[in-house]
Amino acid sequence: MEVLNKTSGVLTLFLLLLALFAIVSYMVYFYIPSVRGSYTISITAEKPLESVVLELPITEDNRPIYRIKEITCFVKSNGYLREIKPVITSTIDGNPKSILLPITGTGTFNIVGEYVLEEEKLIDYSRYPWTLIVDSKKYEVPVYVERDIMLQVVYIMKENSMILVPSLGILTVLCGGLSVARLFRGLFFQEKVPTAPKKKCTKWYYVCVNFFKIEQGSQTGKQLPKPYIDKLMKLLLNVNETWKKCCIKFIPCIDSKGNIVAKYVNPDRDITYATAGGKIIIGRYKIDFKIVRKLKLKDLFKDPNSTRLEVSESKVNAPYKEKLEATWKKDIEYKGVKYKAGEKIPNEIVNEIVKKGLEVVNKRLGESGLPENEKQRLLKRKKLFEYVLKIIKEENIVKRGEIPVIGALKGIEKLKDDHLSKCINVFIVKEYEDKVEKGEEGGCGEFPGRITIIEEKVIEENISNMLAHEFGHNLGLDHVPPNPQKPNLMETPVKGNNLTKKQCKKAFENCMKDKRKHFSEKTCHEGLKYLRKLELFREIEKLKKENKEIDKQVKKLRKSKEEVDKQIEDLKEQIKSEEKMLKKEKALLKKVSSTAKRAERYKDIIRTKKGRRKRYAEKSLDRMESMLEKDIERLKGKLEKAIKRNREKEAKELEKKIGEKETLLEAVRDPEATLKKYSEKVKALEEEIGKLKEKLKEYESKAPELKNKIDNKIKELRNKLNNNKNRINKLEKEIKELG
Ligand SMILES: [Zn+2]
């Protein structure tokens, strides 16, 4: 035991050193640290700003100093803080060199931002300030970089790599050699350690799910029939079985009446969804607008019965109407009427304002000597105004175009309650096909997002992997190449249900990020209870089934234990009867032998002697034969009578006697052959008895061990049975507690 501990101690030390060596080598040679920094700029512009560019310094030999991987920018002006997207306009070695900050207008701008840098070595950035170029005027921008303790340790390691890495390497090799040597000396024994219990989820992620079945003639919002919901829940349980490894659970949503959200949707429903939006500022009028499309759900379907959804790259060509919806951005007065911010603006008013705006723009465009960028800006405005006017004008015209199905499904009216935006929504259609993106059969999932479309057959045939796959898309997982050994859930077509750690991490992160998928007590808590109950029922059913099977096995084992004894008894019985037979055969052989010997003697005399002795021998032999023949004749007569009188026992006895006499007669007629025949018979019988006795011995020696084994197996099964029963009790208690 002492030796064993020492060896595993050395082995542990070796593994630790190996890990340390790997980490240090990685840090020194491969790890490129990244640091965070910030910058602040303040500019005042009297004239409208045209271009604000950050220039980053480079080394004399044209190498980047700042390897910026991410940069953010916030601008505060007129009391508003907004985020703008910096645009990289030139790069060096793949790193930004000039960054355009899209800021326009006049006034004071306070600009702050953060960036992430990659550093190969320690650099004193205070020596390399940035340059800000505002409309060709230059300013210096100081930069600040933070480095934490970890990073400082990394730099110390990098600086001392010449000593650190080789010495750690030598130490690791020495330690490895020592543990290998111990291993080979046979001192390293370890019993097979029972496999550790599978990692349990410390934190579960719950995702709420709604189900909607699109069916002609149905009533939108009406609950699906109970058996259908049962099927859905069964499917969901199987989906959860697959997603268990990622610690993600899909939970049915519950509506305000406490019903599971598994409802009908009538294809006659209207759909409205926004396609674009923005703001228009004309003089003092500030308008927010949205362009809203309106169509019928059934127009997305290929057939009049709304059963077949046929898409090309997730789009369907369908008729629709387009409408502008505008609201005031600020409290305002227009033609003597006061409006509040956010209030709807009638389209005639929008029309009037935009028309006036367009006139102004057109007039400005007519002026000569306009700077190029001003001209571009005006042209952009003109385009927007014309577009808005066109939408207003064509409000009642039915148009046709490509409708993104997933976007449209989000706009089904009457389903727009809270749940739709807080859950994953599964739409069930009879048939679904993407004419362009083949391979995915039976469904489609928004990537990433909250809409999944599946075919009816997925539910009818409980193809849980299909739904689990679409949920994968919803949680941000893309397709993966096929892996025949371990088919992944995200392969297409779907073959297996494996998920890698990386995929789990990605899906989990998607859940964490997308607040709209957040499980909420209000929408899902009851669903969690409901699903848990189903899970419990299912487990109980499984355990009960298992127990039935165990019962059967125990019965079988008991029977086989009885059979062990019975086999021995049977063998003993067989030996007894064979021994009895042997005794009889031996008695017969004795008679045959004496008769045969006498007959042989007479035959010898007949062959070798003459005269009186020969004649005497012939006579005696004849007499032997005829006496036996007579005996047989007499016995046969008796047998006939016994048969006639139905005396079975007597008849049997007589038959036996006749047989014996016939054997003796045979011995008189052919003494040598008959004697040989009957001795061989006895010998064979003796051999067989010997074999049977050996078999018995073997059985008797093995029986206790065998019975013991069976007893142990029965004990084991009984334990399992009891464990199962306890577990069932526990589960039933939990069901009761759930109410
Ligand atoms: Zn897919």
CATH code linked to domain 205-267+416-519: 3.40.390.10
**DSSP characters over 584-598:** HHHHHHHHHHHHHHH
Cα(480) to centroid of ligand 1, in Å? 9
The pLDDT > 70 percentage for the chain reads 94
Cα(273) to centroid of ligand 1, in Å? 25
Cα(665) to centroid of ligand 1, in Å? 95
What is the model's pLDDT at position 13?
A: 82
Q: Are 270 and 411 in contact (CB under 8 A)?
A: no
Cα 616 to chain centroid, rounded: 105
Cα(439) to centroid of ligand 1, in Å? 8
Cα(468) to centroid of ligand 1, in Å? 10
Cα(253) to centroid of ligand 1, in Å? 24
Interval 352-366 mean pLDDT? 93
Give span(s): CATH 2.60.40.740, the chain: 28-155
Distance CA 534, CA 695 (A): 56
Interval 676-701 mean pLDDT? 94
What is the model's pLDDT at position 412?
A: 86
Interval 684-696 mean pLDDT? 95
Cα(489) to centroid of ligand 1, in Å? 9
Beta bridge partners of 205: 248
Cα(475) to centroid of ligand 1, in Å? 12
Q: Are 22 and 30 in contact (CB under 8 A)?
A: no
Give span(s): CATH 3.40.390.10, the chain: 205-267+416-519
317 vs 130, which has greater pLDDT?
317
**DSSP characters over 83-114:** EE--EEEEEETTEEEEEE----EEEEEEEEEE
Calculate the dihedral angle through the C-alpha atoms of 477, 480, 483, 486, rounding to the nearest 10 degrees.
0
Cα(479) to centroid of ligand 1, in Å? 6
Interval 93-112 mean pLDDT? 83
Cα(452) to centroid of ligand 1, in Å? 11
Cα(503) to centroid of ligand 1, in Å? 14
What is the model's pLDDT at position 198?
A: 57
CATH code linked to domain 28-155: 2.60.40.740
Distance CA 326, CA 662 (A): 127
Closest CA to 301 of 318, 288, 286: 318
Cα(201) to centroid of ligand 1, in Å? 26
Q: What is the pLDDT of residues 626-658, one digit of tens each?
A: 999 999 999 999 999 999 999 999 999 999 999
Cα(469) to centroid of ligand 1, in Å? 6
Cα(150) to centroid of ligand 1, in Å? 42
Q: Are 426 and 409 in contact (CB under 8 A)?
A: no
Cα(249) to centroid of ligand 1, in Å? 19
Distance CA 145, CA 398 (A): 58
Distance CA 238, CA 233 (A): 9
Least confident window among 140-149, 384-393, 581-590, 679-688: 140-149
Cα(395) to centroid of ligand 1, in Å? 37
Cα(310) to centroid of ligand 1, in Å? 16
Cα(491) to centroid of ligand 1, in Å? 7
Beta bridge partners of 206: 249
The pTM of the full predicted model, rounded to 2 decimals, is 0.56
Cα(208) to centroid of ligand 1, in Å? 20
Helices (H), 475-520: 501-513
The pLDDT > 90 percentage for the chain reads 58
Q: What is the pLDDT of residues 65-100, one digit of tens each?
A: 888 888 888 888 877 778 888 888 888 888 888 888
CA distances, 654 to each of 155, 373, 624, 651, 674 (Å): 116, 136, 20, 5, 22
Count of CB atoms situated within 10 Å of the CB of 315: 18
Distance CA 738, CA 731 (A): 11
Cα(230) to centroid of ligand 1, in Å? 25
Query: How many CA atoms lie within 13 Å of 79's alpha carbon, on the beta-carbon side?
Result: 0
